[in-house]
């Protein structure tokens, strides 16, 4: 029995008939420097203000951008859950306005090396996370590395952040092109939305979306939606320098209002046309491990 099959059996054995699952949203970008982490943190705050219990998972083990943005240095990481069996409640760091923060640390790269007993323990902890959060937002690394793509292809909801810069549009297309070629990718199982960041005016944001969506549909056969646009805002840049989210520092600024509007659009009910059934954080990680064990 291989590791992937072992994990599926563990999940099946521990499943409950009417288990409650968290909604998992993966935020990614084709290149760095487009504001991906800023989007992650501010969406988390705005979703929390709408009454959601939100936890951010920093899956970019090479950098610590979430830590810097929140001004928080976590004592523990996901690796302590995976390798030492620490309870998730002891590993999650409290953030502003009730959001939680879970650092991936070296745990992400250890996924493919876990033993059967570690897998079983880890999956049980993931059930705990599904009960602790209404929404889990995953901040991936930028670009098209294997780790980034594994999280994207394993996700049911993906937000792609892009700016009007030609290189950003090209890199966003490259990310989706790489996604299309990934084993296990099924366009019917994933909902991809684009966020236009640092646009000078509304028309520029619409043009950005149309440029990307048309070529993605024509050459990749992938449909993407526009979830929102964030105007170029000096207050947002100032908040980054202060290591504090703009939604906290300047709650009435244009960018804060844009994040609030996107959070409201992302908050849905079962009757909404764009409803995406939550699959839970354990399902995402089982998919990631399955992908890794195939390679």
Q: Which of 67, 78, 112, 145 is nearest to 281 (CA)?
A: 78
- Please work out, in degrees rounded to the nearest 5, the angle formed at the alpha carbon of residue 50 by the alpha carbons of 258 and 208: 25
What predicted TM-score, i.e. pTM, was given to this entire model?
Answer: 0.86
Summarize pLDDT for 206-257 with one digit per residue, the tens.
999 999 999 999 999 999 999 999 999 999 989 988 889 999 999 999 999 9
| Whether the predicted pLDDT of 61 surpasses 70 | no
CA distances from 160 to 25, 29, 85, 138 (A): 11, 5, 33, 12
d(CA 133, CA 39): 19
Is residue 129 scored above 60 in pLDDT? yes
The pLDDT, as a whole number, for residue 189 is: 84
Question: Can you give the three-state secondary structure of 219-234, one letter per residue?
Answer: HHCCCEEEEEEEECCH
């Amino acid at each position: 029995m291989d590791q992937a099959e072992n994990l599926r059996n563990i999940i099946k054995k521990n499943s409950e008939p009417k288990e409650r699952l968290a909604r998992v949203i993966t935020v990614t970008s084709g290149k760095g420097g487009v504001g991906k982490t800023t989007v992650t943190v501010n969406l988390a705050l705005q979703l929390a203000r709408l009454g959601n219990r939100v936890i951010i998972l920093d899956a970019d083990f090479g950098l610590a951008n979430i830590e810097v943005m929140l001004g928080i240095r976590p004592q523990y990481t996901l690796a302590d859950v995976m390798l030492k069996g620490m309870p998730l409640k002891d590993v999650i760091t409290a953030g502003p306005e009730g959001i939680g923060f879970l650092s991936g640390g070296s745990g992400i790269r250890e996924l493919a090396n876990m033993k059967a007993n570690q897998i079983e323990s880890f999956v049980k902890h993931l059930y705990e996370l599904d009960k602790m959060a209404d929404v889990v937002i995953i901040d991936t690394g930028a670009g098209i590395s294997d780790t980034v793509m594994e999280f994207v292809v394993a996700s049911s909801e993906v937000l792609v952040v892009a700016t009007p810069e030609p290189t950003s549009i090209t890199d966003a297309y490259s990310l989706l092109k790489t996604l299309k070629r990934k084993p296990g990718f099924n366009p019917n199982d994933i909902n991809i939305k684009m966020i236009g960041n640092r646009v000078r005016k509304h028309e520029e944001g619409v043009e950005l979306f149309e440029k990307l969506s048309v070529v993605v549909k024509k050459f990749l056969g992938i449909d993407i939606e526009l979830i929102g646009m964030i105007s170029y805002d000096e207050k947002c840049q100032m908040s980054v320098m202060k290591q504090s989210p703009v939604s906290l520092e300047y709650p009435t600024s244009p960018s804060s209002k844009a994040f609030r509007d996107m959070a409201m659009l992302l908050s849905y009910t079962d009757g909404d046309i764009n409803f995406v059934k939550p699959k839970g954080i354990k399902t995402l990680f089982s998919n990631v491990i399955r992908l890794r064990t195939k390679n």
